[in-house]
Copies of this chain bind each other. A is one copy, B any other.
């Protein structure tokens, strides 16, 4: 609209999730008017991240080096392995600050409809890992979608000979949840899994 380079920037900003034409224009104008050094720093950080961030060889999460900081950290409990679908899930669990074990990222969930089979996920590597380094407890923290649950069952079968204790995340009423707005599946689960006060 204004200049070729401005239009190019607006177009490229729209690749960001949740950013449409209007937001992209606002972002471009904001950076150009008041934040040029910060805009250049953002360009540098983006380029660095896209080029240099790789998959951790051990847990398949994101990493700057061959093995990620979480896998390297000597203070984490090797006896506890939490299996998640994506690196975003690792981040979500880390932000709870309540888990001190290791992680393993599958890279998605089984979904025949999208053509994603066990070979497309890091399931072989997971089986290999629990064979080599037996863990005390394997936590299957895949999603509570049908695909996530199916993936959890599939893994549970595949590793059952090598792991004694296989667990999954508790299901129930979320914090701050109002019962009347909760779906009946979740409420039903919560009732079934009720615990002593």
Contact = CB atoms under 8 A, between A and B. Distances in A.
A27 interface: yes
A173 interface: no
Given A3-B53, A15-B35, A39-B15, A46 B9 contact: yes
Contact of A17 (B26, B32, B50): B26
A184 interface: no
A48 B4 CA distance: 11
A48 to B, nearest CB: 5
Contacts of A23: 18
Interface string A1-13: 1111110110111
A3 B68 contact: yes
Interface in A38-88: 38-53, 61-64, 68-70, 86-88
Interface of A: 1-6, 8-9, 11-13, 15-18, 23, 25-33, 35-36, 38-53, 61-64, 68-70, 86-88, 90-91, 94-95
When A and B form their complex, which 4 residue pairs have the shortest distance between CB atoms, in order from nearest?
Answer: A43-B46, A43-B47, A12-B45, A12-B42
